[in-house]
Structure formats: structure tokens, C-alpha cells
A and B are shown apart, each in its own frame.
Chain A
């Protein structure tokens, strides 16, 4: 197995472990809300955006119309616009027709793994990573819908830690070399905590605000120091 494939599987497995129980929870909730199996499957298979699917179910139950839910979804998922903008600076020598499937699979976690990967991003690496995430998301949704809570609750919760652990694990090698990434990540997390606490932004926009503010600060600070210190 070549190195690219092995690295992608190594990064893909934590995604699988993290997504599967979250997707199962979504499937279980769909069933409880009276959503059909086909529609539950389609939610995960064609939307493929974790948090916004849960929010949509929530809003459906409260009686919100489709238009309102779609606008909310746009707002909640708009952070991927920024992530995709960053990824456009990292993608080289990939034919444009592959952008269609690649764009579909840009979730928070896939983006994080890709953005911290050293060197060139090949389509092999990207597709294996995205397929790990996608298969867990769609498969987990079906399993949850059909089988219900088939794993012990404690184990499901523990598997939820996998996604956070994954993001932390990919940041660690970075902060060994320089404090730049750590300072950016910690200040962004602090700002996010404050913004969530203040509770004046719509859902999903605290993260967008953090990215815009912290990345602007990072840009200005690196201007002052000729791009070295930060």
C-alpha cells in the first residue's frame, strides 16, 4: 500500500469512528420525528453536513417552514465557504472536474485534516479521507434508523470524543515548530467561548466571526514582523 493511501486511511479511521455514532444519533432522531427511512438517508447522503441536519430536524418539529430552514442551513454551513477558500490555495494539479466531488466532502473535520497535511494534497488522499467520512455518515444514519441505539450509551458518547481528539492531534505537530498555530487556535477558541456566551449571533456564525477576526489579526500581526513571528 503506498504511503498516500496509508496516511489517508490513518486519518480516515478517526473520522469514521467520530462520524458513525453522531450519524446514528441523527438516524434515531429522524425516526422519532416521523421522518421516513428514505428521507433520513437522503438528508445524510445529499446534504452531508452534521450540525445543520440536527438543526433542521429541530426546526421541522417546531413547525418552521422549508424556506426558513433552508436559510438557516445556509447560515450554519457558510463557514465552509471560508474553508473552501483556504483549500483553493492548497490544491494544485487536480483536474477541475474533480472539484465537484471534492467540494461535496468539505466538512469541518475533512477540512482540518487536509489543511494541516504537509506537502501536496493529492486526489487519492482527499477522496479516501472523504469516503471514510461519508460512508460513516450515511451508514451510521441508516444503522441508527434501523437498529436504534445499538451501542451502549457510554461508548457512543466516548466515540464523540474522537472528532475533538482528531482535531487536537493534527494541531499538535504544528505547535512543536512554532507557537503561531497554537496562539491562533487558542485565541479563536477563547473568542468563540465568549461569543457563544454573549449569545447574539445566529447559530454557526460564532465560528465564522472567530475565523474572520482571528485570521485578520493573524494577517496584521504577520505584516508587522515580515511574516516570521506569527
Chain B
């Protein structure tokens, strides 16, 4: 393989700049109400697209394993809340299913 350092530096630059520029240009700036309403929808909109459909194919051989794992997160999260236990539980459930039926 050739020297990859120039490639890595180029990738780093085009990844970093879009992450950096908005923070510098927009933080503490007054933004129009409509634009703000748009921006306030970004977290939920991006979260939905990040999770669906990806989460249905984490365990492609046994799709049920990941689905049951996430199912645990939903049930536990809705009733008890929190982050750590819903996530660790999802891993444990998925692993158990894979061990027994994988």
C-alpha cells in the first residue's frame, strides 16, 4: 500500500471543517425563529434516520437477536428510564439470543 498519510490528512480536513464551521459562525448568534424551529427538529430527525433501518440488520443471521435486544431497551427505558442499564441489557439479551439460536 502507498503512503496513505496525505489521504488521511485530506479526509481529516473534510471531516473536521463541517463539524467546526457552524460552531464558530452560529454560536451565540441570534437566529430567525423559523430557522430555529427547523434546527430544533434536527435531533429527532437525525436520530430516526440513524437508527432505522440500520438497527434491524446488526445481527443479519439472526435478526430477532438485535430486535429483542432493542425491545428490551424500549420496555426497560419506558418503565424505569436511564441509559446504562437499557443499553447493557440490550447487549446481554442480544448475546443470549445469539448464543442459543445463532
Contact = CB atoms under 8 A, between A and B. Distances in A.
A81 interface: yes
Given A99-B20, A161-B66, A219-B38, A169 B86 contact: yes
Given A69-B7, A172-B81, A165 B42 contact: no
B44 to A, nearest CB: 4
Given A47-B15, A219-B37, A159 B91 contact: yes
B49 A88 contact: no
Question: Which 9 residue pairs of A and B lie closest in terms of their CB atoms, listed nearest first?
Answer: A189-B52, A188-B48, A185-B48, A218-B41, A165-B90, A115-B43, A88-B26, A184-B44, A81-B18
A60 B45 CA distance: 32
Interface string B1-27: 100111111111011101111111111
B22 A84 contact: yes
Contacts, number: 298
Contact of A89 (B26, B69, B88): B26
B27 A157 contact: no
A161 B46 contact: no
A85 B22 contact: yes
Interface of A: 10-11, 13-14, 17, 33-36, 39, 42-43, 46-49, 52-53, 56, 60, 66, 69-71, 73-74, 77-89, 91-92, 96, 99-100, 102-104, 106, 108, 111-112, 115-116, 154-155, 157-162, 164-174, 176, 180-182, 184-193, 196, 206-207, 210-211, 214-216, 218-219, 222-223, 227
9 contacts: A39-B4, A66-B6, A85-B26, A85-B39, A99-B23, A112-B43, A193-B53, A214-B44, A219-B37
A66 B22 contact: no
B98 to A, nearest CB: 4
A17 to B, nearest CB: 7
Nearest to A193: B53
B77 A172 contact: yes
Contacts of B64: none
Contacts of A66: 6-7, 10
Q: How large is the interface on B (under 10, 10 to 19, 20 to 34, 35 or more residues)?
A: 35 or more
B18 A77 contact: yes
B44 A56 contact: no
A92 B28 contact: yes
A89 B39 contact: yes
A102 B23 contact: yes
Nearest to A176: B78
B42 to A, nearest CB: 4
B53 A189 contact: yes
Most buried by B among A34, A174, A185: A185
A80 B46 CA distance: 10
A164 B26 contact: no
Contact of B95 (A81, A154, A222): A154
Contacts of A83: 19, 42, 46
Given A173-B81, A188-B45, 15 more contacts: A10-B82, A70-B7, A73-B15, A88-B23, A89-B36, A154-B102, A155-B95, A161-B70, A162-B90, A162-B91, A164-B70, A165-B89, A168-B70, A168-B74, A169-B86
